[in-house]
Amino acid sequence: MSSFGKKLRECRDDKGLSQAELARQLGVHHSIIGKYERDEVKPTIDVVKNIANVLETTVGFLLGETKKQDVLKDQAMLKRLNDIAGFPEEDKQHILYTLDALIKSVKLKQM
């Protein structure tokens, strides 16, 4: 499994950001990004969330819990899913039931 630091560097490189640019977007000193990437310092979960947001990835990917291809890249869709995740359980179930029906309908039309 890759370390947090390796995942961070991979995502930062994929976005074409320097350590200084990422640090500026996160509001931290650029040296801390290097320390994270070398696994010298472990960020708090709130910092990891901010990093994931800026790099348009997930906390799970940065922590090695998901594969890169599992990361949802459509930010509009991700925002909607995050909104739904905050709803009461009953509302989530209604939304997911409706969504499943719509997905099934679209797939049938594509056949």
Q: How many Å apart are CA 97 and CA 76, to the nearest integer? A: 20
For residue 42, what pLDDT is reported? 95
Q: Where are the domains of the chain?
A: 4-70, 75-110
Helices (H), 2-88: 4-14, 19-26, 30-37, 45-54, 59-62, 75-85
pLDDT digits (tens, 9 = 90+) for 68-95: 655 566 677 878 888 898 899 999 999 9
Give the predicted TM-score (pTM) of the model.
0.61
| Domain covering 4-70 assigned CATH 1.20.120.80 in the classification | no
Closest Cα to residue 54, out of 23, 84, 80?
23
Q: Name the stretches of the chain with pLDDT < 50.
A: none
For residue 78, what pLDDT is reported? 78
For residue 98, what pLDDT is reported? 95
